[in-house]
Structure formats: structure tokens, C-alpha cells
Structure 1
Amino acid sequence: MDLQALWNEHSETLIEYGTSLATVIVFLVVGLAVAGWVGRAARKALLKAQLENTLAIFFGKMARWLTLAIVIMGCLGRFGIDMTSFAAVLAAAGFAVGMALQGSLGNFASGVMLLLFRPFTVGQVVNAAGTTGTVVEIGVFTTVFDTPDNRRIIVPNGIVFGGTIENISHHVTRRVDVEVGTDYGADLDQTREVLMAAAKSVSAGLSDPEPAIVLAGLGGSCIDWKVRLWVNADDFWPVKDALTRAVKQHLDQASIGIPFPQLDVHMEQLGG
């Protein structure tokens, strides 16, 4: 069969499918461009609304892929493929994938909540999921911490968001507490004055709120005191060290003893 006869026999079909193919190609090219524009526009709009950058990027990509899915379904429909059955297959596949990845989906949902409600941000020091450290990254599935001894800890978001979160560096100021015990023979008023002088001698301490000396209790071998000093959050640990040192030095200078637990052992010789 020569080409002319083949063309005469199938020309209408070839023209029909050729036209459909050309239309689909143009539709795909335009769809790709539109999907990219939709993704960028969505991301810019979300960032303008002051949404977390990670979420803005994620939802921008979701908008792009959703637009591409619509374009692809339109292309398949151009060739006469039934979209109802195709959608049912996608739904079944989505259900199966969702069951297999339910743990990951839970972490994703928790990540979205962390990014939306912002109980902490990158750079803050928090105690969450049994981990204390500086937040390095908040992803949609995991949160990354660096501990004070320079260990990198990666925790699933489901565990972080499902437990108690202590944001240690949320406030600009913190209170340093130093507990100390003194002899029962020491005068209470004098001890209070000495401890107050120790607190005020720490230069990095804040004067507002003022330092506080609290008579905490009467222990088994000493009188319990708490020395409280407010500081800038960044100075917490250096001031903790300095205040502890000042309390010890001022008590020594005032000849006020710091008792320590003692154990008396009495030995008796039993007659044979």
C-alpha cells in the first residue's frame, strides 16, 4: 500500500490526533508557565502575610503541583480518557500512601502547627521532647537542635508538638537562683544583709527588679536561704557562676559558716 492510499484512508484520524497532540503540547507548555507563576505568586503572598518562610515555600510548591495536576488531567481528557475512573485510582493510591505514611503525615501536621503558632523560632534555646538546645532548623517533618555540648539532635515534629515545650530564651530577662545553707547560730538579719551585699556585688545583675533574699526553710542541719538576682537572658550562666562565688566569699568574710551533712558513728564493744 503506497503512502497516498494510506493517507487517504487515515487522513481524518491522523489530522484529528495530530491536532489533539499539538493542542496538548501547547497546553502543557502554557500550563508549566502558569504553574510556575502560581507557585511564585502564592509564595510571595504568603511571605507578605508574614507566614513562616518554610511554610510559604511548601505551600508555593503545593500550588504549583496542584496547577500541574489540573493541566495533566485536562490533557488526558483531550485524548478521551475518563477522568472519573482516573480520579478514583488516584484516590485509592492516595489512601494507600496515606496509611503507609501516617507517621510522617502526623509529623508533617505537627510541623505545620509549629510553623504557624511559633512556640519557638530558630536561634532560641528550648527544652522539648527531652532535649535542651538551640533551635537550628524547623522543618515540616523534623526540628533540628544543637545542644550546649555541640551535639546535633534531630527530633520528629510529632514528638516536639505533642509534649511540653519550654522556651528558655523567650524573655529578654531571667532570674538566677542560688540556694545556700547557714549555721543555726548565725544571726538572721546579719545573714540577710550579707547575702544582699553579695547579690548587689555582681555587676551584671539588674537593679530592677531588685535582688531578693528569701528565708526558704529550716533544714535538718542548716537554715536554708535563696538568693535571687535578675539578669539579661544572655548573661544567665556567667552571672550564675559569679553570684555563687560572691555568696561564698561574703559568707566567709562575715564568718558565717555553711554547714555540710555529718554522720556520727558510735562503736560499742559487746561483751563475749
Structure 2
Amino acid sequence: MAGESLMNDAIPLSDSLSQVNGWLENNSDILLQYGVNIIAALLILFFGNIFVKVIAGSVAKVLRKKDMDPAVIEFIHGLVRYLLFVIVLIAALGRIGVQTASVVAVIGAAGLAVGLALQGSLSNFAAGILIVAFRPFKSGDYVEVAGVAGSVESIQIFQTILKTPDNKMVVVPNSSVIGGAITNYSRHATRRIDLMIGVSYSADLQKTKQVLRETVERDDRILKDPDVTIGVHTLADSSVNFVVRPWVKTADYWPVYFDLMMNIKQALDANDIEIPFPQMSVHLNKVDKAD
């Protein structure tokens, strides 16, 4: 009985295998065609991705030879890579039978939908193009944008990367960069240092001015042209305030600033010129009590 049961189970299995084999034989041409198309599509994606990297890299290399700003090069490199990859993807889909016209239409519709949903991202993209076109700053410049100050590391498609003086990375959306004031501290070769120095009302102003000038002129990093400006700026509550405005190379701004503040303090002390601190005079009047 057991042998007969096994024989009965084997017959349907044999029939199923025969049906599968028959279906494979009848549809072998279609399967072969689809298999070839799928393999071809995968090859298109694989070699197309390599091709995209090579082309984008070549574009970046050509721009570097022309001494273009590294931040602009990175922006164009990313843009070229994304556009070429979309073309490769459409070609791969077309190889497996998807109508490319339909794909373009779907991408267009999807792009419209995504664009409406991600208006901020599109504005960042457009702002990135404006930054690259008008170049208010370049890679390495020290700038202040959207309330953040730092050195420009790169300009990407949607954001600008800054590095702060304390070595923090700050990502600023391109729309925020374009939408506000941009202060570029590195654009010009020279900068002016503005110092406010307060001295006592009892100080000799001519002597104070001479001490300040001699202190400034001892620093070789301070430029001779334009000449330093020194003068009385304000008669304040507790001090007579002098302005000291020398010009230096942009790279020397902060080192000269710190050294000059220390040297001025030491020079005033050496010449017995008092630097006053805020103070208040209180006058007490005695009032006699009535009898």
C-alpha cells in the first residue's frame, strides 16, 4: 500500500515538471530576450556610472587647470554628475522595455510634485547657481553670512559649508546666504584696525597722541600707506577717547590687533598716562533738622 501511494504522488509531480519544461521550451525566446535586456540594463548602469565619474572628474580637472575657485569646481562637478546619471538611468530603463518618453514624462511630473513639496530645496539650488555666477566669495575666504562667521570650505548644490575659527563645521542653506547681507573679510588685501583708547581727563592730550603714534609705528606689520589715523573721538563720562586706526594686511589683522592692544597699555603705563575706569562721584549734603 505504501508503494502504491508513493507511485500515485510521483505521477502528479512528474506531470508538473513536464508542464514547467514545456512552458520553458515554449517561452525560451522571450525569457532569453528579457534576460539579455536585464543583463544589458545592469551593464549600462555599471559602466554608465563609471563613465559619469570619469566625465565629471575630467570636467573638474579642466576647471582646476584654469585656476577656477575650488568651491565652484565642486558645485559644477556635482551638477554634471547628477545630470549624467539621470541620462544613464533613463537609458537602462529603456533597455528593459520601458518607454523613455514615458519615463521623461514621469520624471517631469515627479519633478513638479517634488518641486512643489520641496520649494525650499529648489530655492537653495537656484541660490547656489547665483553664488557660483556672481561669486561674492570663494573657497578659503573668511565671511559672515546668515549670522555665521567662518572660512568657506565648499559651495554645494543646496548648501554652503563653513568652518568656524574654533574648528566647527556649519552648513548654511544657499537661500539663507543669498537672502541676507554677505560680509567678506578676505576680499581685499588690506584691512583697517579700529581701536578706541580712553585716557584720563587730566592727561596731556598732545603727549598721549605722540605716545600712541610711536607705539603704532614701532610695529613693522603696520602699513605706511594709508597713514594711521589718531585723534580725539569722544569726551566721554569718565575718559577722553582716542581712535587709533592703522592699516594692515588682511592676514595680519588679528595678530596686530592683539599685540597693539598690549603695547598701547604698556606704553601708556610707562608714560604715567592713566587709563580710567568708569566711576561715579557721590556728593552728600548735610541737612539741618528743624527745631
Band of TM-score, shorter chain: 0.7 to 0.9
Distance 2:218 2:124 in 1: 49
Q: Verify the 8 A CA contact 1:111 1:157 in the aligned structure 2.
A: yes
Where do 1:64-213 residues align within 5 Å?
64-72=84-92, 74-75=94-95, 79=97, 86-213=103-230
Q: CA deviation at 1:261?
A: 2.6
Q: Larger C-alpha radius of gyration, 1 or 2? A: 2
Q: CA deviation at 1:201?
A: 2.0
**Would you say 1:225 and 2:248 are equivalent positions?**
no
Task: List per-residue Cα deviations over 1:207-232 (Å, max 9, x = no partner).
Answer: 33332213323333433211122222
Query: Residue 137 of structure 1: SS of its match in structure 2?
Result: strand
Change (3 A) 1:99 1:250: same
Partner of 1:62: 82
Moved more, 143-152 or 33-42: 33-42
Q: CA deviation at 1:127?
A: 1.2
Aligned partner (choices 225, 233, 245) of residue 216 of structure 1: 233
Aligned partner (choices 58, 73, 77) of residue 44 of structure 1: 58
Q: Which residue identity does 1:177 align to in structure 2?
A: D
Aligned partner (choices 248, 259, 262) of residue 279 of structure 2: 262
Q: Verify the 8 A CA contact 1:180 1:224 in the aligned structure 2.
A: yes
Moved more, 146-155 or 32-41: 32-41
Q: CA deviation at 1:22?
A: 5.5
Moved more, 248-257 or 34-43: 34-43
Distance 2:237 2:281 in 1: 14
Q: Verify the 8 A CA contact 1:174 1:232 in the aligned structure 2.
A: yes
Aligned residue pairs: how many? 265
Q: Which residue identity does 2:119 align to in structure 1?
A: Q
Q: TM (normalized to structure 1)?
A: 0.76
Distance 1:18 1:151 in 2: 56
In the alignment, structure 1 segments of 5+ residues that lack a partner are none
Q: Verify the 8 A CA contact 2:230 2:242 in the aligned structure 1.
A: yes
Q: Which residue identity does 1:178 align to in structure 2?
A: L
Q: TM (normalized to structure 2)?
A: 0.72
Q: Verify the 8 A CA contact 2:160 2:174 in the aligned structure 1.
A: yes
Task: Give the fraction of aligned pairs with identical amino acids, expressed as a percent.
Answer: 35
Moved more, 23-32 or 156-165: 23-32
Distance 1:93 1:85 in 2: 12
Q: Verify the 8 A CA contact 2:45 2:89 in the aligned structure 1.
A: no
Q: Compute the RMSD of aligned alpha carbons.
A: 3.5
In the alignment, structure 2 segments of 5+ residues that lack a partner are 1-17
Query: Residue 174 of structure 1: SS of its match in structure 2?
Result: strand
Distance 1:20 1:259 in 2: 90
Q: CA deviation at 1:166?
A: 1.0
Q: CA deviation at 1:200?
A: 1.0
Q: Verify the 8 A CA contact 1:107 1:142 in the aligned structure 2.
A: yes
Q: CA deviation at 1:29?
A: 5.0
Partner of 2:73: 53
